[in-house]
């Protein structure tokens, strides 16, 4: 059985849009895409009067090298959000199929499922915020086509052990695609599971340049998966998803200079995460700080609402996650610069004299 048998047959069968860029090969005078012949003001040689490559070769190569996959195993899009949406649309038949998630987790899996009118099977994380593989497998129905796991998980921060990922991938073979969202993996001690995509054709990994690579505003994310899955998603992706300035910014971030810069900030975030974890723990009014392998901490307060308001009054915006299951007393605080983190501590210290 091919993993593509899990996808919507009509997507496999449809004739995809063929863009001018896809059809062109060679040539020097381009009169095939109804573009302007003139570059816009301030273009500086970028060529924004032309449509960009659908999957820019230089960026695909740089990302494939970074993540250790072959170029055919990588799809680059507008943040990993786009890949989540494409997966749901390609694998879930509206009104019939479903995804499986473990709340509290990243909200876009459920949003994309709702937009597609796919069902959502929820298997809550344990009270210690760890994944319960047995419960997930017990909840699996034939409608579930995609299982999302997030490691480290947003908003709790815990990683999923590699052994759990492997166990799930094996158990889901022929039944569902396992999507491992590694948006925060660069901050974690445990590495990526991307090497497993060669072993399990029903395993897909999401990565992004929005977090450790400091490019949230540029919108570049990748899906790493079996080449057939990547080819399938390209059939339904917008023809020109990646703006030229974004591609340029991503290539700069992935250069030697950019990588050194990212590594430097990564070290600061990891050190600050430890410092903040310890300092927050000591504050009266703080009930608990969940252990985190990401660039944020989920913090339980005696009165999270009051803590949120105090921080906001001091100009500090954190994420109120009280609506998430099991986090009714928590705020999620991103690790900022040492000075910003110091301000958070100072305000919370004042709150609890």
Ligand X SMILES: Cc1ncc(COP(=O)(O)O)c(C=O)c1O
Tokens of 158: 């815990």
Tokens of 161: 């052990």
**From the CB of 155, what's the least distance to ligand X, in Å?**
8
Pick 293 or 351: Cβ nearer ligand X: 293
Residue 173 is given by DSSP the state T
List beta partners, residue 180: 149, 205
Pick 91 or 106: Cβ nearer ligand X: 106
Tokens of 211: 């977090």
- Cβ-proximal residue to ligand X, closest one: 79
* Residue from the set 24, 58, 65, 216 that interacts with ligand X by CB under 6 A: 216
Pick 252 or 346: Cβ nearer ligand X: 252
**Window 13-42: contact mask with ligand X (x via CB under 6 A):** ------------------------------
**From the CB of 26, what's the least distance to ligand X, in Å?**
34
Pick 295 or 341: Cβ nearer ligand X: 295
**From the CB of 209, what's the least distance to ligand X, in Å?**
7
**Window 170-209: contact mask with ligand X (x via CB under 6 A):** -----------x-x------------------------x-
Q: Which residue has the tokens 């000075």?
A: 339
Q: Please tell me whether residue 164 binds ligand X under the rule CB under 6 A.
A: no
For ligand X (CB under 6 A), the number of binding residues is 12
Q: Please tell me whether residue 238 binds ligand X under the rule CB under 6 A.
A: no
Applying the rule CB under 6 A, the residues between 40 and 79 that interact with ligand X are 79
Q: Please tell me whether residue 81 binds ligand X under the rule CB under 6 A.
A: yes
Pick 160 or 183: Cβ nearer ligand X: 183
Query: Vertex 69, ends 66 and 70: CA angle to 5°?
Result: 120
Applying the rule CB under 6 A, the residues between 244 and 263 that interact with ligand X are none
**Dist CA 2 CA 12 (whole Å):** 12
- Give the list of residues 6+ apart from residue 163 with CB closer than 8 angstroms, or none: none
Pick 106 or 308: Cβ nearer ligand X: 106
**Among residues 33, 7, 10, which one has the least CA distance to residue 21?**
33
**From the CB of 51, what's the least distance to ligand X, in Å?**
22
Q: Please tell me whether residue 221 binds ligand X under the rule CB under 6 A.
A: yes
**Dist CA 326 CA 332 (whole Å):** 13
**Window 269-298: contact mask with ligand X (x via CB under 6 A):** ------------------------------
**From the CB of 45, what's the least distance to ligand X, in Å?**
28
* Residue from the set 55, 73, 116, 154 that interacts with ligand X by CB under 6 A: 154
In the chain, where does DSSP find H-type helix?
9-13, 20-23, 57-67, 79-91, 108-115, 133-139, 162-172, 227-236, 244-253, 256-282, 304-313, 338-351
- Give the list of residues 6+ apart from residue 3 with CB closer than 8 angstroms, or none: 177, 201, 202, 226, 228, 229
**From the CB of 61, what's the least distance to ligand X, in Å?**
20
Q: How far is CA 231 from CA 41, 46, 151, 278, in A?
A: 36, 28, 25, 46
3-state helix, strand, coil in the chain (%, to 5): 40, 15, 45
Positions touching ligand X (CB under 6 A) are: 79-81, 106, 150, 154, 181, 183, 208, 210, 216, 221
């Amino acid at each position: 059985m091919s993993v593509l048998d899990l996808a919507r047959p009509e997507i496999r069968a449809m004739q995809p849009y063929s863009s001018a860029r896809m059809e062109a090969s060679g040539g020097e005078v381009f009169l095939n895409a109804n573009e302007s012949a003139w570059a816009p003001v301030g273009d500086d040689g970028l060529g924004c009067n032309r449509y960009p490559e659908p999957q820019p070769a230089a960026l695909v190569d740089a990302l494939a090298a970074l993540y250790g996959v072959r170029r055919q195993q990588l799809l680059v899009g507008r943040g990993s959000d786009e890949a989540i949406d494409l997966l749901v649309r390609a694998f879930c038949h509206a009104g019939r199929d479903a995804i499986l998630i473990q709340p509290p987790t990243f909200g876009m899996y459920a949003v994309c499922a709702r937009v597609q009118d796919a069902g959502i099977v929820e298997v809550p994380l344990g009270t210690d915020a760890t994944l319960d593989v047995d419960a997930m497998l017990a909840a699996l129905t034939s409608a579930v086509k995609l299982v999302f796991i997030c490691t480290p998980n947003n908003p709790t921060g815990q990683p999923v052990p590699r052994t759990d990922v492997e166990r799930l991938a094996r158990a889901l073979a022929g039944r569902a695609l396992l999507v491992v969202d590694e948006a925060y993996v660069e901050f974690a001690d445990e590495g990526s599971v991307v090497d497993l995509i060669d072993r399990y054709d029903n395993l897909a990994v999401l990565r992004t340049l929005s977090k450790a690579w400091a490019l949230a505003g540029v919108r570049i994310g990748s899906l790493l998966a079996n080449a057939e899955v990547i080819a399938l998603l390209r059939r339904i992706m917008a023809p020109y998803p990646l703006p030229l300035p974004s591609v340029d910014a991503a290539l700069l971030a992935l250069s030697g200079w950019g990588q050194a810069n990212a590594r430097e900030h990564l070290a600061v975030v990891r050190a600050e995460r430890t410092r903040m974890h310890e300092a927050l723990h000591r504050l009266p009014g703080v009930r608990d700080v969940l252990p985190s392998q990401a660039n944020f901490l989920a913090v339980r307060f005696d009165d999270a609402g009051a803590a949120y308001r105090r921080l906001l009054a001091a100009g500090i915006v954190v994420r109120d996650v009280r609506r998430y299951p099991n986090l009714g007393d928590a705020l999620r605080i991103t690790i900022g610069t040492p000075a910003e983190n110091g301000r958070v501590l100072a305000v919370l210290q004042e709150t609890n004299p």
